Amino acid sequence: MSLASPAPAATPVRAARPRATGSAVGTLEAARARSREIEEQVAAKPEGFRVLTGERPTGALHIGHYFGTLANRVRLQQQGVELFLILADYQVITDRDETGDLRGTVREILLDYLAVGMDPDRTTVFTHSAVPALNQLLLPFLSLVSVAELERNPTVKAETAATGERAMSGLMLTYPVHQAADILFCHGNLVPVGQDQLPHLEMTRTIARRFNQRYAAAAPYFPEPDALLAHAPTILGSDGTKMSKSRGNTLPLGASADETARWVRRARTDGERTITYDPDARPEVANLLTIASSCTGRSPEEVADEVGAAGAGRLKGLVTEALVEHLRPVRARRAALAAGDGPDVLDILARGNARANEIADRTLEDVRDRMGMAYRGR
Ligand code: TRP
């Protein structure tokens, strides 16, 4: 894609977009249908898409990330789509006061990215705080949304509730607008996300549309990006709840075979002997079956049938072996990179930051130009 022409000549023909129906389920179904349509367009014309996605650097990545999103990103990269991965360091302090060992965490995540197969020649990895022009987009973008719209965001509400007694900070309230800047600075038009991020993507679309209406009516400047919903199942932690570092229930991608065995041994099951796949009634057992399924490509039901009356012990043995086998190459690559065998990951980040800055500078200049702020006379 030519960077000089951000109004993407290569934008895919947009199929009619199913309208949100108003009910959450209907909206989710519409988003799923749209994602399937987009998958077809990606396969037919990968160069028409620029993906932006990423994460908050709060800890090394784990198998939940791997099966949930990383594998999908690698697939998109292999299909020929250009990717941008943001390490949203400013977002770390949306729900806590301390940034922690950011440099260390960012390094761990870079190792994870490379180990799973992200290719720095095809994928730009950058840190949010290192791209000032991206962040400056926040100011005009904030003018395009109302406080009421920000306060209505269900994900922000849920995240605030999860922080207990904490008062909502201005940063927490406005982080979906930050995300709009993250996506739009590079004219990202496809954002692989989980369901919880759908409201944010809707806000990004609104911001793009309003900017275009207000400042670029003749030739729309920003794309209205689409969500690409992961069809991967959610992997739970060893205690059967959401996998999250703060709960101490994760299996990091870099875990050794022994650590993997220990994590699986600790994983909760239930009192029923015979193994069956029943995600509603038996979520912990279903989780182990899902992991085995994700590693082997067999269906969870098939794995359950195979284990059957042999029970949880047998299931755990099978899951450990499947995980260790499946992640063996990832672990080996990660260990080699961590030992200094290969490129320095912080050099890769510096390259990514430089490229992100180049693009962000150009976008900010275009934005200021359209807003009547080009004073230097060009
Ligand atoms: N909020 C996302 C998360 O917690 C990370 C993120 C920041 C992001 N900016 C983004 C994701 C832009 C998609 C697009 O995982």
* Segments forming the whole domain that contains residue 203: 28-232+344-370
Please write the tens of the pLDDT for every residue from 164-206: 888 999 999 999 999 999 999 999 999 998 888 899 999 999 9
pLDDT at 234: 87
Is 11 part of a structural domain of the chain?
no
Is 222 part of a structural domain of the chain?
yes
Whether the per-residue pLDDT at 60 is higher than 80: the answer is yes
Is 377 part of a structural domain of the chain?
no
Please write the tens of the pLDDT for every residue from 70-94: 999 999 999 999 999 999 999 999 9
94 with 123, same domain?
yes
pTM of the model: 0.90
CA of 198 to the centre of ligand 1 (A): 11
211 with 295, same domain?
no
Establish whether residue 294 lines the binding site of ligand 1, counting it when its CB lies within 6 angstroms of any ligand atom.
Answer: no
CA of 27 to the centre of ligand 1 (A): 20
Whether the per-residue pLDDT at 151 is higher than 50: the answer is yes
295 with 251, same domain?
yes
Which ranges of the chain would DSSP assign to H, the alpha helix? Answer: 24-44, 63-65, 71-79, 102-116, 132-136, 138-142, 147-152, 154-162, 170-184, 198-215, 257-266, 283-296, 300-307, 311-338, 345-370
pLDDT at 14: 44
99 with 197, same domain?
yes
218 with 249, same domain?
no
Out of 124, 195, 200, give the residue to mutate to test ligand 1, the one with the largest number of ligand atoms within 8 Å of its CB: 200
CATH of the domain at 126: 3.40.50.620
195 with 279, same domain?
no
Structure tokens at 274: 């015979």
Out of 50, 51, 55, give the residue to mutate to test ligand 1, the one with the largest number of ligand atoms within 8 Å of its CB: 55
Give 5's pLDDT tier (boundaries 50, 70, 90): very low
What type of residue is 296? Answer: T
225 with 294, same domain?
no
pLDDT at 23: 54
Please write the tens of the pLDDT for every residue from 227-274: 999 878 889 999 989 898 888 899 999 999 999 999 999 999 999 999
pLDDT at 342: 83
Give 377's pLDDT tier (boundaries 50, 70, 90): low
pLDDT at 203: 97
For residues 282 and 290, give the distance between their C-alpha atoms in angstroms, rounded to a whole number: 12
Whether the per-residue pLDDT at 2 is higher than 60: the answer is no
